[in-house]
Amino acid sequence: MWPLVAPADALPSALIGNSAHGAQLVGACNSCHGKGGEGVANIAFPRLAGQLGPYLAAQMHDFAAGTRHRAVMKFAVKDMSEQDLADVGAYYAAMNTPPTPSTAAPDAAKDQRAMQLVNQGDAANGIAACGSCHGFDGLGRAPDVPYIAGQHASYISDQINSWQMGDRHSDRGLAMAAVAKKLGAYDIAALASWLSRQAPPAPK
């Protein structure tokens, strides 16, 4: 078994989100994340629709605290209370937006490598299977291991690069930093492309 990544009590907030209140707080978010939380594929603005609420709240907390760096995101959430963050998380978590079709081209060899990394990992190179934490369907695990299936390819590769450079270092237990540092450029491109073509969580 892989080490436990993030016990629920390690989250900054275990507050129950109120999505109706969250809806009132996202007006300024739509220009980048879209009215449906669909994000923008070609410029690495992440899809938020259907993502786990506690995960989203934790990320916003990290942007505000400065442990995950992105100036626009710090500015967007810096005045929100922890309850507001939980509410916004609950709002996006409940969204039923259909996936944006990926424009990443299938490639037999790369797709095979991506599926190997997701399902088995690469023991010879010390790479844990993505599915062991994110689920073998890539749909994430409550409360705070995010879905990666159906996320935008550009965003997936950006985030893996951020961990490699030490720019994103807020994850509890640092599970992803360790994984990211073992991935080469070919693997990152293969994973980003293949994952972006998989289905995100189905509408609830």
Whole-number minimum distance, CB 40 to ligand HEC, in Å? 9
Whole-number minimum distance, CB 4 to ligand HEC, in Å? 9
Whole-number minimum distance, CB 105 to ligand HEC, in Å? 19
Q: In this complex, which beta carbon is closest to ligand HEC, that of residue 146 or of residue 201? A: 146
Residue 12: asked if its preceding bond is cis (omega within 30°), the reply is no
Q: In this complex, which beta carbon is closest to ligand HEC, that of residue 51 or of residue 97? A: 51
Q: In this complex, which beta carbon is closest to ligand HEC, that of residue 31 or of residue 103? A: 31
Whole-number minimum distance, CB 32 to ligand HEC, in Å? 3
Whole-number minimum distance, CB 82 to ligand HEC, in Å? 14
Q: In this complex, which beta carbon is closest to ligand HEC, that of residue 16 or of residue 171? A: 171
**What is the C-alpha to C-alpha distance for residues 54 and 195, in angstroms, rounded to an integer?**
22
Q: Which residues bind ligand HEC (CB under 6 A)?
A: 2, 5-6, 26, 28-29, 31-33, 45-46, 48, 51, 56, 58-60, 70, 72-73, 76-77, 88, 117, 127-128, 130, 132-134, 144-146, 148, 151, 156, 158-159, 170-172, 175-176, 179, 191
Q: In this complex, which beta carbon is closest to ligand HEC, that of residue 32 or of residue 115? A: 32
Phi-psi region of 179 (alpha: psi -120 to 50; beta: other; left: phi over 0): alpha
The three-state DSSP-derived secondary structure of the chain is CCCCCCCHHHCCCCCCCCHHHHHCCCHHHHHHHCCCCCCEHHHCECCCCCCCHHHHHHHHHHHHHCCECCHHHHHHHCCCCHHHHHHHHHHHHCCCCCCCCCCCCCCHHHHHHHHHHHHCCEHHHCECCHHHHHCCCCCCECCCECCCCCCCHHHHHHHHHHHHCCCECCCCCCHHHHHHCCCCHHHHHHHHHHHHCCCCCCCC
Q: In this complex, which beta carbon is closest to ligand HEC, that of residue 21 or of residue 70? A: 70
Whole-number minimum distance, CB 108 to ligand HEC, in Å? 19
